[in-house]
Structures are given as C-alpha cells and as structure tokens.
Amino acid sequence: MSTRTDIRRSPVSRRLANAQRAAAATSESDSRVRLADLSLRPRWGLKGRDVFTFLAAKGAQNPRTDHRAMRQPDGSVIARLSPGEALIFAPPGDGGSSLGNAVESVPSSGQGACYPVPRRDSHCWFAIVGAAAPAMFAKLCGVDLSPDRFADGAIAQTSVARLSAIVIRHDVADMLAFFLLAETASAEYLWDCLDDAMKEFEGRVEDADAIWPAAEVQGTSQ
C-alpha cells in the first residue's frame, strides 16, 4: 500500500535553490534586509457576510477594524481585509491551527454563513524583515511603510512591483517585518523584483524557520 505525501513545491523553488548556492559562497555577515519564502506554510481565506461571527464562535480574537491583522494566542494571525473577508495564517512551526481546521466546517447558510477561499493555492507568501525594509519597499510600492506611519498589524492592499498585492506588517520579536502576498502566477517575477531591490540594503535570502521561528508567539496587534 502506498503512502501519500505532500508534493507541494514553492512557486519560487528555483529561485530558492539559486539563493542557497549564492549564500554558500558568501560570508555570514548580518544583513539589513532579509527575504524568506513562506509559501509552503498553511493559510486559509474566508469570505461572506458572517465571517467574523463564525471566527468569534471558534474562539478567535478578531481585529476590530478593516485592514488590520491580529495575532492569536497560538501564534496564528487573522488579517481582516474587509467586513466580509479574512485571511488566516498558520502559526510558525508545525503549521497546526484550530482556526484553520475550522475553515473546513464553515456553514453555507444561517448564522455564521461564509465560504472558504484557497489562499494557499492562489497566493504566494513572502516575509521581509529588517530596519531597512520600508526603504526597500519604497522602490516598489507607493505606500509609506515607515514604522511611524504603518503600525504593527496594519494592512495595505496595494501595488508592489506593478502587481496587486497585500502587505501586512507583522513584527517578529524586536524586528520590523512584513508579510507580502501576491498571485502565485507572478511569484517568480515578484521574487526577482525583491531580490534586486534589496541588494542596495545588504539583503539576503533566509530560511523560513530562521526568519519566523516557532518560538515567535507574542502579544497581539489590533
């Protein structure tokens, strides 16, 4: 009897292989901007008039307003994109999430009615970390992501490198950090744009577990 395994590949797997070879040939000096691919980590989307009623019934701590993200006690993150749309990111580590599991049992009618959206398939997921990240983004995006203008937990649905994208500030420990999501079909193009833009800021590619470790479970952003 055969055992089924997860054969998912990141949409930027070829770029990651090149980055690993390049990193092996350079020194391990600290960099001001770091880029990681989180695309293989679980994430879920929900749409519908009662999305946040449903999530609250499952124990979620929902953001109070649109365009805000909120950390959950288990380390997962809920991003409120509109009154009827949420993104749920699995916590770092093994990817387990009770909220994510609940998405598969959403009611299609009655109280809490909503429906799942396959964000893991439709959108790539990158993380950009470092004090110089806002300056790097300024080369690609018209939104000012400076820490004093774009708070932890803030969300911008905007254009990055001429692509429709979602930018979420999600600080890691004491480091300024952002999630970046865009259509999977454009993942390699976006990765190349980021890779080029961060060269000015001593940027380098990091492993996902190094940039967003399992130990990173901290207070909430609202």
Angle among Cα 15, 204, 88 to the nearest 5 degrees reads: 70
Pairing of strands 177-183, 123-129: antiparallel
pLDDT at 190 > cutoff 50 = yes
DSSP 28: -
Residue-averaged pLDDT of the chain:
85
How far is residue 112's CA from residue 100's CA, in Å, rounded to a whole number? 16
pLDDT the model gives residue 219 = 45
What pLDDT does residue 26 have? 46
Confidence of residue 211 (pLDDT cuts 50, 70, 90): confident
124-162 tens-digit pLDDT: 999 999 999 999 999 999 999 999 999 999 999 999 999
In this predicted model, what pLDDT tens digit does every residue of 56-115 receive, in sequence order? 999 999 999 999 999 998 889 999 999 999 999 998 876 567 888 888 777 666 556 788
Query: Could you give the angle at the alpha carbon of 151 between the alpha carbons of 36 and 100, nearest 5°?
Result: 55
